[in-house]
Amino acid sequence: MSTAPASPAPASPKRRWFLKTTLAVVAVGAAVGGGIWFRQGFEGTALTPHGREVFKAVARGVLGPMLPAAETPERKAMLERYLGNLEALINSLPQAKRNEIALLAGMLANAPTRWMLSGMWTSWADASDEQVIHALRELQSSDSLVPNISYAAARALTCMAYFTIPDYWSHVGYPGPMAI
């Protein structure tokens, strides 16, 4: 009986390489997580500047044709009123939901996570309406669940805050509730 020669054991990664790789992954994760935490979108009872930037852009993307022409005083006033209504809506929610909204806005405000989710590196404030619409479409049509849920949550909050303002109903052709 002859026996076949034993094959050598597969090469294992070097210990130092493994430690360096682990430290790099931890550092990147901490930086991204720290950025999200630093840029939370809602703090206390108000939207942070980062949160205002995110939700103002989402409104531009979701409500686009229902808003007045770009950069008019009327459009700015409508978006400011919408943001105030959004703050009131968020404040009516339980603390756990407010925390989730803060992290959602932080995730979308932080450049690396915004790019991973929507493919847009440009900040929301500097993005054109077309870039915002494209980023929202990327969130909506992603194969991953996190961007899909992020889109659904941001869109739902935007629609609830905007369409609960009776003055804006005429922009979509809704005459208001019927008298009974």
pLDDT of residue 149 exceeding 90, the answer is: yes
- The total number of residues shown for the chain amounts to 180
pTM: 0.77
pLDDT of residue 73 exceeding 70, the answer is: yes
Confidence label for 7 from pLDDT (cuts 50, 70 and 90): low
pLDDT, position 175: 85
Q: Is the model more confident about 70 or about 39?
A: 70
The 8-class DSSP code of residue 41 comes to: S
Confidence label for 61 from pLDDT (cuts 50, 70 and 90): very high
pLDDT of residue 2 exceeding 90, the answer is: no
The 8-class DSSP code of residue 64 comes to: G
Confidence label for 127 from pLDDT (cuts 50, 70 and 90): very high
